[in-house]
Chain A
Amino acid sequence: MADTITAQSAASPALALRHGRNYARRYWVFIVPAALVVLTVIVFPWLFTLYMSVHEWHIGGTRSFAGLANYARLFTDDRFHWAVLHTLYFTVLAVVAPLVLGVAAAECFHRNFRFRAVARTIFILPMMATPVAIALVWTMMFHPQLGVLNYLLTSVGLPPSTWVYDSTTVIPTLVLVETWQWTPLVMLIVLGGLASLPTDPYEAARIDGAGPWTMFRLITLPLVWPFIVVALVIRTIDALKAFDTIFVISQGGPGTSSETINIFLYLQAFAFYDIGYASAVVAVFFVLIVAISLVLLGVRQRARWQ
């Protein structure tokens, strides 16, 4: 599920215009093999999920048509409601923190300084590292008695934290890991935006005696806004779908205090084998993600027209 959201550049309009629509249509041949793969591994699961979601279906058990019973069950399942709230709480924090830090980081890496290439490489390593491996290291660092993080906190005079071992601190702690991992992606997207900015407004502003903060607020921010919105959309989708680090570090616990929709879904499907109900969760989850994305893409459209 990889991919991207960027403005697509126009594809050689001259060529297509000269040869008309029929000409463009011939290129469908190139798409057929990939289309077959996409049909099998992406579209078939979507449709089959809808089919399963209207059935009472347990792996290794019976199955029968259930109408919308699975969906109705979602409305009365408190555990699911909490999972939705946990997901939204996690998402808001895991979007805002990387965005703020990422923009600040891009502003730093946009300047010229010695060792910039080295520093930037180190900075993007968290994003490329294997999430499970990283999650294991964080788990060891969060250890309440022997963990290095509590040692560092107490050595600068701060109280130790309970990290993932308390229901009030677990989600902010998971957000910390997510922020550590994905701030670099925001930085790269915004850095790409900064690189494309014209230099004239800055020179004019400098002559007028504007300070760095004023220039950032009145020139940089409005100009890179479309890039920030792209980063916002990508971060939101990824935070809603976050799984690996939560699954490895807290397994949704303590209790169910960090159980997000994705973890809830995993348990329903592969711990309780209740795949009819799990499919209904998938459908609702998917609608939620698409709805939020569309709202944010609406913001993006507006950003582009301004």
Chain B
Amino acid sequence: MRSYRLRRIAGRFGLYLSVLALISPALLVFLWMISLSLKTEIDNMDYPPVFIPHPPTLDNFAQVFARNDFLTYTKNSVIVSFSATALALLVGVPAGYGIAKARATRAAMLILIARMTPGLSYLIPLFLLFQWLSLTGTLVPIVITHLVITVPIVVWVMIGFFEGLPAELEEAALTDGATIWQAFRHVALPLARPGVTVALILSFIFSWNNFIFAVVLAGRETRTLPVAVYNVLTFEQISWGPLAAAALCVTAPVLLLTLVMQKEIVAGLTAGGVKGG
């Protein structure tokens, strides 16, 4: 009996040890990012590295925000991610419903193939298109290209949710003389609200994180945050503190959203392995 108990304790200990080993790489990177952003330049260039900032300083953040173009880029990112997500919901939610109801597997396949295509391959033709329409230099091209990411996410998540709904309620509404639009608007849509939330969060996050479209399409005034941070790295004297502070500012909204909406995000991702990029 005693050996059984011992083995149980050892097993428990092993489990906690494995979990610690699993989360420590994530902890290392995020804590190191925070540490770099809170230290003076002298501490950041010290070797062996200084782990705990003493005393912590907010100078790096002040430096990032002192450059007013960083606020412009934040505004750009907010506009792009919100517009791309809103437009995707507007067209994607009904489409998910239509595909689920009509069981249009071929339309679903198209979305799958779109997912397989590298983002860069959309970029060359769209780049030319925007030049011809003389839209370069505005945020419009960036919003439109982000639809390449957000529309498939929304459609795919919504197909899954609408297929999971019981058909009886809509059938009852249709039998009572409702049009299919009314059945969608007043019966299916309210039931699928959790699905809309999941689609909204995922499409916002992957649009916010996107780098490849804006790095090609954005001009000086229309950079999104990931591009702005990348440019800090390439074109300026590298100083780690402000760079880490800027990186933290860019990814913080997404990390906070993940912490708050963890359940919805996990549900959406396990439903299908949604990913942007």
Contact = CB atoms under 8 A, between A and B. Distances in A.
B26 A185 contact: no
B273 A33 contact: no
B271 A248 contact: no
B147 A125 contact: no
B223 to A, nearest CB: 12
A125 B49 CA distance: 25
Contacts of B271: 4, 6
Interface string B209-222: 10110001000000
B104 interface: yes
Nearest to B179: A26
B114 A1 contact: yes
B233 A29 contact: no
A243 interface: yes
Given A8-B159, A11-B101, A131 B209 contact: yes
B230 to A, nearest CB: 5
Most interface-central of A48, A121, A191, A266 (chain B CB within 10 A): A121
Interface in B28-72: 29-30, 32-33, 36, 45, 47-49
B95 A30 contact: yes
Interface string A79-115: 0000000000000000000000100110011010100
A86 B139 CA distance: 35
Interface in A1-59: 1-6, 8-12, 14-16, 24-31, 33-38, 40-42, 44-46, 48-49, 52, 59
B94 A1 contact: no
A136 B26 contact: no
Contacts of A49: 121, 124-125
B117 A4 contact: no
A122 B26 CA distance: 7
Q: Is the interface of A mostly helix, strand, loop or mixed?
A: helix
Given A3-B156, A138-B29, A243 B212 contact: yes
Given A2-B149, A286-B117, A140 B243 contact: yes
A244 B211 CA distance: 7
Nearest to A115: B19
Nearest to A263: B120
Which of under 10, 10 to 19, 20 to 34, or 35 or more describes the interface residues of B?
35 or more
Interface string A263-306: 00110011000010011001001100110010000000000000
Given A42-B122, A244-B277, A286-B121, A15 B167 contact: yes
A5 B19 CA distance: 28
B243 to A, nearest CB: 6
B121 A132 contact: no
Contact of A136 (B12, B203, B247, B277): B247
Interface stretch (A70-78, A162-170, A215-223, A230-238): A230-238
17 contacts: A1-B117, A1-B119, A2-B202, A25-B102, A26-B180, A37-B87, A44-B129, A45-B126, A126-B29, A130-B254, A137-B36, A191-B270, A265-B120, A265-B121, A279-B124, A285-B121, A293-B116
Interface of B: 12, 15-16, 18-19, 22-23, 25-27, 29-30, 32-33, 36, 45, 47-49, 87, 90-92, 94-95, 97-105, 107-108, 110-126, 128-129, 144-145, 147-153, 155-156, 159-160, 162-164, 167, 170-171, 180, 184, 202-203, 205-206, 208-209, 211-212, 216, 225-227, 229-230, 233, 240, 243-244, 247-248, 250-251, 254-255, 257-259, 262, 265-266, 269-277
Given A3-B152, A137-B32, A285-B121, 4 more contacts: A28-B98, A28-B102, A120-B266, A133-B226
